[in-house]
Structure formats: structure tokens, C-alpha cells
């Protein structure tokens, strides 16, 4: 039933995603209108415009010439706007050169002026004059279409572009804001390492993709036309870094994560090299966009094979079907987007990838919230389990025979040595005080407090066994913490199972010291020892199990991320070692 529910949820998620994508894809607008007259204030010039012609220059095959006669001017029309994408432009009115893109100063950083609006002022006396637009293609790999030419005032054109690109512009800005929020939350909230890293890279991916698409829109270029080259290269830089961020955001999965990390690092190196070549003027982004596209396509094929074989055929992780589908959908749409960018130098009117990435970001947000909730639930469960363990430890440690023996020892001392009896009562009350105080502790306690508790216990045992028990302390480090009731049970184990089971005198040594990366506590006895292979990994059903050591081992790992190790040799003794890693800020 649970498996069926997971599959049903995955199917519903995919159907919802497909529905949203379909609605958004069908509803997109275009800058290219269906007729010449868009309104009283905007006139579109294309092949249907009176006197429009297109031809190739005889002496320069890479130069296209578009000409038309100005037959009418839109209301409030002030200029001719020509949308250029990685091409040089010259605009003539009655053979008089009024615009030359060569006047744009873009230096050694690029061989292309990027995408920009070529603008020529028009007046009423220009009616009936011939306008000639000459366009020279920069990159041979790109497919150049007839440029968009519009007669309008700049304010009217800006309003028209803003209306037609409103949906994509809003989604693009939303991706930027959502990415910034994810990246900020990754560093503000106390998240697990994997969740924090995933949120960080997903935020970077969303912000980069949003910037890439927003900077690629004609309305943004019109707004910053004087800095169009800068806008173009913001888009290009984001274009090259997007794959690295995307694959690194997926590289923290518990299985098959090495492939994503390797691909992400390859793309990061590629993006850095391309940026370096661009800055040094050695190679142009536009010439290398095919490299990014080919690498993106090959990486997608590699991931597809990994998913199909590793997850569907080999392991069949039904709970991750919707994640697999979403991941492949993002890859496919981004590759399509990159193909359009590679072929056309621009992704105008193709917003499917933008909507898919936005949806991916939203789903990733819900996924992170779900992970945080699961993590909090796990922490709560562990705390409850820890509380139950502590209760069991309290009961197991307060053994009746220890209390009886201690009270009998005090009773006997009252007749023999009053001062020793007083000392025994002092030690026993100190032992009980620390024991009950530990019941109120939620987190780790200082080593000094644990050591004092252990001293009280060993002092009582020393009174009972006399010269048969010797206790030594070698304390070199005390600036660290241990779980409550972790050191005393180990010392008790050394006395009960080590010293008492050997003939003659025995010694218990407690030592603490610091290494390069950990604080270490050792409890050593020269008692009977035992064969460690029969511990059964400290399982409670083991015949020779020391349940106190098992409890200590679990709590050291859960509360301090430490480790408990046992080394024992029959006839020679036992060494129990607790290693607590040093905190980074220590």
C-alpha cells in the first residue's frame, strides 16, 4: 500500500508539472507580430511592408541587405529600431549613412557587438525615402534570420516589449530572487551538510539561469542599450556556468553522486577556461558556444544512461521516479535552450526551459522543506530515544548490590574508623549527587564533571577492596565534553570484570590527552582481560556483552560524533578508549 501511494504521488507530481509547463508554453508571447501595424504608435517592417526587399551583397557574401521605402510613420513615431544579434549593422537613408555599429567600442574582449538595438531617428520629411539596412554576420555557426525592424518611439516600443515578454520576465526575475533566497537560507539556517550544499548550488543555478534569460530579452537590452555589450556578456557568462551549478546541485545524492560531481567540476573548469580566454582576447565566447553545447549534450546522455541502468533497471527506486523525471526534463529543456542559443545567439520566444527551471526550483524548495522536516523529526526521535536510553542507564547503573555493599562498608567503618566512615558517606553522597544530576542533562557535560563522578565511585570501591585496588590518574587534557554517565560505567566495568576476576592486586588507570584532531580518554586495567571477538559488536543479545559499554558507545557517537574502542588481551588487561573529535572552531 505504501509503495502504491509513492508511485501514485509521483504520477500526480509529473501530471501537475506537465500541465503547468503546457499552459505556460502555449501562453508565451512573441516580439514578432502577425501584421505590420501593431497599433497606432508601432509599425513593424518585414517582407509584407511596401517596397521591402532582401538580397546578398555581391562583393561580400556574408553581408545581407534589407531595403524598404518609408510609406507611413506611426503616430508619435520618432525612430527606426533594428534588433541585432551578434552582427554588425549599417543603416542608410537615401544612401546617407546614419548608423554604424563599428562606432561601438567593444575592444579586444569580443569580435561581436553582442545583441543590441540599432536606432536611427526618423522625421516626417523621411516619408518616401529609401531605407537600407546592411547586416554582416559575425559567427558562421549561427543561423541568421531577418532582423526585427520597427518604426516607433522608444517609450512605445519599450511598453510593447514589456507586455509581450511580461510572463518570461516575471518568471526570470522570480528565479533570480528564489535562487538568492535559497543560497542565503543555506548559510543562515542550521541545515545538514547535504541539504545546505544542495540548497546553495540550487540557488546558484536558479540565479544564473534567471540572469541568463533576463539579460537575453530585447526589453532589457532596450533599457540598457548604451551598455548592451555588458548585458550580452552577463548572459554569456551565466550561460557557461549554468551546467556546473546544476550538476553540482545534484551531486550530493547518497548514491551515484560521483558522476554528477565529476561532470559539474568538468563544466566549472571549462567555464573558467572560456572566461579566461575571453578576458585575454585569445578566443571568443561565441566561437566556443558549440563546445558548451556538445559537452552539455554528452553529459545528459551519460546521466540518462546512469539513471536508466542504476535506478530503474538495477535498483528500481520507485520513490524517486518524480525526481528522475524532473531531472531529465530539466536536462532536456536546457539542452534545447542551449541549442537555440547556439544556433540563433538568442532564446527569444522560446521560454519552455525558463518555466521548467522555475518549476524545478519550486519543487526543489518543497523537497528541501520536506528534508528539513524529516531531519527535525529524526532529531526529535533520537532525543526521545536518548532520553529512554538515559532512563535505562540510570536504572542499570543504580544496581542494588552496589548500594548494599556501599552501605555495609559504611556500617562497618562506623565501628572501626569514624573518619573513614565520614569520607565514605561524603563519597557516596557525591556519587549519588552526580548520578541524579546526570538525569537532568540533555546534552554533553564537561570532562571534569564526569571525572569527578568517577573519582567518587572509585574512592568507594577503593575503600571496599583496600590494597587490592590501585587507582592512577594521568590527566593532560580536560577542555572537552562527554555524554553524561560515560566515564564512570567504563571504570566500573574495569573494576567488576577486570580487577575482581584476577588474583592479587590490580590497577585502574584513567588517562586523558589531546591529539591533532581529537581529545582522547583511556581507561586501562591490568585485570583478567577477555577475547574481544566475543563482544558481538556490543549487541545486547551477546552472551558476553557489557551493556554499559554498548550504551556509552551509542551515546558517544550520537551526542559527540565520537568513537569508543576496546582493546583487550586475556590475562593482560583491557583498554577502553573514547575519542572525541575536536570542533573546528576550537
| 169 shares its domain with 135 | no
**Residue 440 belongs to some domain of the structure:** yes
Task: Judge whether 112 and 284 are in contact, CB under 8 Å.
Answer: yes
Name the domain count of the chain.
Answer: 3
536 and 492 within one domain: yes
Q: Looking at residues 49-60, what average pLDDT do you find?
A: 85
Cβ proximity of 114 and 86 under 8 Å: yes
The pLDDT assigned to 101 comes to 83
Rounded CA-CA distance 264/270 in Å is: 10
Query: Does 441 share its domain with 515?
Result: yes
Q: Map grid coordinates 585569445 to a residue.
A: 282
Average pLDDT, the chain: 78
* Residue 393 binned pLDDT confidence (cut-offs 50, 70, 90): low
Angle between helices 352-397 and 487-494 (to 10 degrees): 50
Q: Coil, strand or helix: which one is 91?
A: strand
Q: Residue 548: give its domain's CATH number.
A: 3.30.565.10
Shared-domain flag, residues 437 and 523 = yes
User: Do residues 285 and 236 touch, judged by C-beta distance below 8 A?
Assistant: yes
Is residue 132 situated within a structural domain? yes
What pLDDT is attached to residue 236? 80
**Where do we find the cell 548500594?**
403
Q: Please report the pLDDT score of residue 90 as a whole number.
A: 92
pLDDT score, position 255: 47
pLDDT in tens, 217-249: 888 988 888 888 888 888 888 888 888 888 888
Q: CB of 217 within 8 A of CB of 169?
A: yes
- Same domain, residue pair 149 and 175: no
Residue 16 belongs to a domain: no
- Residues sharing a CB contact under 8 Å with residue 566, sequence separation 6 or more, in sequence order: 532, 535, 549, 574, 575, 576, 577
Write down the pLDDT at residue 522: 94
pLDDT tens, position by position, 448-464? 999 998 898 888 888 88
CA dist 31 and 54 (Å) reads: 21
Instruction: Give the least confident one: 98-112, 205-219, 330-344, 452-466.
Output: 98-112
pLDDT of amino acid 81: 92
Residue 184 lies in a domain: yes
Whether 362 and 445 map to the same domain: the answer is no
Segment 399-407 mean pLDDT: 71
Q: What local confidence, expressed as pLDDT, does residue 29 receive? A: 46
Could you tell me the residue range of the domain that residue 271 belongs to? 165-379
- How many other CB atoms are found less than 10 A from the CB of residue 333? 21
Identify the domain boundary among 327, 354, 379. Answer: 379
pLDDT tens string 490-519: 998 888 888 888 888 889 999 999 998 899
Are 367 and 473 contained in the same domain?
no
Are 324 and 345 within one domain?
yes
Strand partners, 100: 90
One domain for residues 465 and 563: yes
Let me know if residue 4 belongs to a domain.
no
Residue 342 has pLDDT above 80, yes or no: no
Q: What is the pLDDT of residues 176-193, one digit of tens each?
A: 999 999 888 888 876 667
Q: Tell me the whole-structure pTM to 2 decimals.
A: 0.61
Tell whether 394 is covered by a domain. Answer: no
Q: How confident is the model at residue 473 (pLDDT cuts 50, 70, 90)?
A: very high
Q: In what order do the strands lie in the sheet with 53-56?
A: 53-56, 63-69, 130-137, 87-93, 96-100
Do 220 and 175 belong together in one domain? yes
CATH number for the domain including 85? 2.60.120
Rounded percentage of the chain residues whose pLDDT exceeds 70: 76
pLDDT for the residue numbered 509: 94
Kindly provide the residue ranges of all beta strands, DSSP E only, lying in 476-562, ordered along the sequence.
Answer: 481-482, 506-514, 518-525
Secondary element (H or E) of residue 116: strand 115-121
Residue 540's pLDDT is what?
43
Beta-strand runs (E) in 382-535: 445-446, 469-475, 481-482, 506-514, 518-525
* CA–CA dist 268, 183 (Å, integer): 18
What pLDDT score does 545 carry? 44
* Within-domain flag for 438: yes
In angstroms, the Cα distances linking 203 to 5, 196, 355, 378 are: 30, 11, 16, 25
Facing residues of 150 across strands?
44, 81
345-356: pLDDT as tens digits: 666 667 888 888
Per-residue pLDDT reduced to its tens digit, 15-48: 555 555 554 554 444 455 555 556 567 888 888 8
Task: Measure the CA–CA gap between 313 and 491, rounded to whole angstroms.
Answer: 53
- Is residue 341 in some structural domain? yes
For the chain, give the number of residues.
586
Among 118, 136, 156, identify where a domain stops: 156
Residues 124 and 198 in one domain: no
Pair 489, 522 in one domain: yes
pLDDT confidence of residue 26: 46
Q: Is the confidence at residue 574, as pLDDT, over 60?
A: yes
Assess contact for 238 and 216: CB atoms under 8 A: no
Amino acid at each position: 500500500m505504501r509503495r502504491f501511494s509513492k508511485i501514485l504521488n509521483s504520477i500526480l507530481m509529473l501530471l501537475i508539472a506537465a500541465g503547468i509547463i503546457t499552459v505556460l508554453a502555449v501562453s508565451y508571447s512573441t516580439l514578432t507580430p502577425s501584421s505590420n501595424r501593431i497599433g497606432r504608435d508601432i509599425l513593424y517592417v518585414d517582407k509584407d511592408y511596401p517596397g521591402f526587399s532582401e538580397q546578398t551583397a555581391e562583393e561580400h557574401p556574408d553581408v545581407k541587405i534589407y531595403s524598404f521605402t518609408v510609406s507611413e510613420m506611426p503616430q508619435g513615431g520618432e525612430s527606426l529600431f533594428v534588433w541585432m544579434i551578434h552582427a554588425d549593422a549599417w543603416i542608410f537613408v537615401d544612401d546617407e549613412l546614419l548608423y554604424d555599429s563599428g562606432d561601438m567600442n567593444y575592444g579586444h574582449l569580443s569580435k561581436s557587438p553582442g545583441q543590441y538595438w540599432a536606432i536611427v531617428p526618423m522625421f516626417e520629411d523621411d516619408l518616401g525615402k529609401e531605407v537600407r539596412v546592411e547586416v554582416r554576420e559575425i559567427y558562421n555557426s549561427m543561423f541568421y534570420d531577418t532582423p526585427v525592424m520597427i518604426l516607433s518611439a522608444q517609450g512605445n516600443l519599450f511598453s510593447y516589449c514589456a507586455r509581450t515578454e511580461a510572463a518570461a520576465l516575471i518568471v526570470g526575475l522570480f528565479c533570480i530572487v528564489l535562487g538568492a533566497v535559497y543560497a542565503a537560507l543555506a548559510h543562515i539556517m542550521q541545515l545538514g551538510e547535504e541539504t545546505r550544499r544542495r540548497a546553495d548550488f540550487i540557488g546558484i543555478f536558479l540565479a544564473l539561469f534567471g540572469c541568463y534569460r533576463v539579460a537575453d530579452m530585447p526589453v532589457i537590452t532596450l533599457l540598457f542599450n548604451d551598455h548592451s555589450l555588458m548585458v550580452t556578456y552577463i548572459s554569456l557568462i551565466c550561460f557557461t556556468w549554468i551546467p556546473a551549478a546544476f550538476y553540482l546541485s545534484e551531486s550530493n545524492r547518497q548514491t551515484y553522486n560521483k558522476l554528477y560531481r565529476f561532470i559539474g567540476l568538468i563544466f566549472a573548469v571549462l567555464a573558467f577556461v572560456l572566461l579566461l580566454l575571453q578576458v585575454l582576447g585569445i578566443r571568443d565566447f561565441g566561437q566556443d558556444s558549440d563546445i558548451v553545447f556538445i559537452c552539455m549534450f554528452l553529459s545528459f546522455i551519460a546521466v540518462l544512461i546512469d539513471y536508466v541502468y542504476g535506478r530503474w533497471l538495477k535498483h528500481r527506486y520507485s520513490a524517486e521516479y518524480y525526481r528522475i523525471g524532473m531531472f531529465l526534463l530539466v536536462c532536456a529543456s536546457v539542452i534545447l535552450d542551449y541549442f537555440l542559443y547556439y544556433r540563433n545567439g538568442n532564446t527569444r520566444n522560446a521560454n519552455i526551459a525558463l518555466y521548467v527551471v522555475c518549476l524545478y526550483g519550486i519543487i526543489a524548495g518543497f523537497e528541501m522543506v520536506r528534508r528539513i522536516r524529516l531531519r527535525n523529526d529524526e532529531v526529535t526521535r533520537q532525543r526521545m530515544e536518548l532520553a529512554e536510553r538515559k532512563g535505562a542507564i540510570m536504572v542499570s547503573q543504580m544496581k542494588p548490590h552496589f548500594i548494599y555493599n556501599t552501605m555495609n562498608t559504611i556500617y562497618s567503618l562506623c565501628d572501626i574508623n569514624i573518619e573513614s566512615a565520614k569520607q565514605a558517606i561524603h563519597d557516596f553522597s557525591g556519587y549519588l549527587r552526580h548520578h541524579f544530576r546526570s538525569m537532568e542533562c540533555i546534552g554533553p557535560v564537561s570532562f571534569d564533571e564526569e571525572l569527578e563522578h568517577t573519582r567518587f565511585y572509585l574512592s568507594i570501591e577503593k575503600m571496599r577492596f583496600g590494597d587490592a585496588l590501585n587507582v592512577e590518574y594521568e590527566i593532560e587534557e580536560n577542555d572537552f565534553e562527554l555524554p553524561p554517565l560515560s566515564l564512570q560505567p567504563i571504570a566500573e566495568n574495569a573494576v567488576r570484570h577486570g580487577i575482581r576476576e584476577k588474583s592479587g592486586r590490580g590497577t585502574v588507570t584513567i588517562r586523558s590527552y589531546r591529539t591533532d584532531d581529537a581529545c582522547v580518554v583511556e581507561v586501562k586495567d591490568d585485570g583478567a582481560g577477555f577475547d574481544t571477538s566475543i563482544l558481538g559488536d556490543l549487541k545486547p543479545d551477546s552472551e558476553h556483552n557489557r551493556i554499559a559499554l554498548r550504551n556509552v558507545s551509542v551515546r558517544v557517537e550520537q551526542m559527540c560524533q565520537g568513537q569508543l574502542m576496546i582493546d583487550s588481551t586475556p590475562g593482560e588487561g583491557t583498554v577502553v578508549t573514547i575519542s572525541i573529535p575536536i570542533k573546528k572552531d576550537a
